[in-house]
Structure 1
């Protein structure tokens, strides 16, 4: 029983992170122009060094846009943790009594055509020159939830995701090993993973 909270912390902090990276690489393979744009930014910042240090990640706006777009389309936990209303509320004509369990569908919100232009398209450019962020202040993008019950690991997840993705595209050229690996069908679960494994050939950059 004592170990259960620690297992939850490590599970939540690893499973969601590598799932997001897997989706990011998948989308980049499906969008070669985006992959090239991100690699050019990484190589400009890397300047031939062995790796891009964490301090330089803030100089990579396109990287941040790519990760935001990945989280928009592929939130690791599409149904946020359940909430419970603490008082009677009338919302959009619906009466929600106190004690009602509420499930937030972050996946549907992030693909809502009334909010997003071409919502099914992977387009990091939509996040350039805009303040929209995933830290719970913009409710159209809430892969980590919002408010006091938002994910406590948001900053950690973003720092690790940006650092890992920046150095992967900086050090390697990626190609798909077979067309089937670009099938973006999702698999149900607590975290939404790819239904079919991604097969990638990673070639070190010269």
Structure 2
């Protein structure tokens, strides 16, 4: 089974012919957060920017890679595109699977969250981690909690580092506690 959930704005150049071809070959397809009337501008801003891939419930990928020719570095205007992407195995893949199936339900009303087929038994991984899905509303609270709890190191990789006063103060206090802070942003 292959399911493809795409952002409507980010996939605006995907032709109807391509969509029909995907469906003809048995790929379940949906656009997420469809534009709704009477508030098209508000609903158009409610986008799903997650990039999640789960294979057989055992291997997951998450990060920033977009899929498209324009991201291969051949476009003179965009230049070479660089981004983070992580490959996961172990229990953390189930977190990604749950998030994808939750997003799938939101847009298709097809509930697959209880299907054990999508959640095979996994061995615990070697690295303790947690995925925290958010729609942005609680992101600052989550970041503050993580920054304030840091004991050794904070690594931030982001294309845009524009911290508000609370985040900046929390980072400065963490540094005063002896926490090593690394912030990686693009040069251009």
Shorter-chain TM-score category?
Answer: under 0.3
Q: Which has the higher strand share?
A: 2
- Where relative contact order (Cα < 8 A, 6+ residues apart) is larger, the structure is 1
TM-score, normalised relative to structure 1: 0.24
Q: Which has the higher helix share?
A: 1
